[in-house]
Amino acid sequence: MKTVTAGVLEVAYFETGHGNGLPTILLHGFPYDAHAYDDVAERLASLGHRCIVPFLRGFGPTRFLSAETPRSGEQAALGADLLALMDALSIGNAVLGGYDWGGRAACIVAALWPERVRGLVSCGTGYNIQNIARAGNPVSPEEEARYWYQYYFHSERGRKALRQNRRDLCHFIWKLWSPTWAFESETFDRTAAAFDNPDFVEIVIHSYRHRFGGISGDPALQAIEAGLAKQPRIAIPTIVMQGADDGVDPPPPVDHDAEHFTASYERRIVAGAGHNLPQEAPGEFATALHSLAKSF
- Residue 106 is predicted with a pLDDT of 98
Q: What does DSSP say about strands 117-123 and 238-243: parallel, antiparallel, or unpaired?
A: parallel
* Complete DSSP assignment for 164-229: HSHHHHHHHHHHHH-TT----HHHHHHHHGGGGSTTHHHHHHHHHHHTTT-S---GGGHHHHHHHH
Task: Tell me the per-residue pLDDT of 79-138, one tens digit each, with 9 for 90 and over.
Answer: 999 999 999 999 999 999 999 999 999 999 999 999 999 999 999 999 999 999 999 999
Q: Would you place residue 3 in the very low, low, confident or very high pLDDT band (cuts 50, 70, 90)?
A: very high
Residue pair 129/123 in contact by the 8 Å Cβ criterion: no
Count of beta carbons in the 10 Å neighbourhood of residue 131:
13
Residue pair 195/170 in contact by the 8 Å Cβ criterion: yes
Residue pair 249/242 in contact by the 8 Å Cβ criterion: yes
Closest CA to 122 of 295, 268, 290: 268
Q: Would you place residue 64 in the very low, low, confident or very high pLDDT band (cuts 50, 70, 90)?
A: very high
Q: Would you place residue 294 in the very low, low, confident or very high pLDDT band (cuts 50, 70, 90)?
A: confident
Model confidence at 293: pLDDT above 90: no
Task: Tell me the per-residue pLDDT of 127-172, one tens digit each, with 9 for 90 and over.
Answer: 999 999 999 999 999 999 999 999 999 999 999 999 999 999 999 9
Mean pLDDT, residues 55-78: 98
Q: Classify 265 as helix, strand or coil.
A: strand
Task: Tell me the per-residue pLDDT of 194-249, one tens digit each, with 9 for 90 and over.
Answer: 999 999 999 999 999 999 999 999 999 999 999 999 999 999 999 999 999 999 99
- CA separation for the pair 260, 263 (Å, rounded): 10
Q: Would you place residue 296 in the very low, low, confident or very high pLDDT band (cuts 50, 70, 90)?
A: low
Domains and CATH numbers, the chain: 2-293 (3.40.50.1820)
The pTM of this model reads: 0.97
Q: Which helix (H) or strand (E) holds 11?
A: strand 9-16
- CA separation for the pair 211, 132 (Å, rounded): 6
Show the beta-strand stretches assigned E in the chain.
Answer: 2-6, 9-16, 22-27, 49-54, 63-64, 94-99, 117-123, 238-243, 265-270
Mean pLDDT, residues 61-80: 98
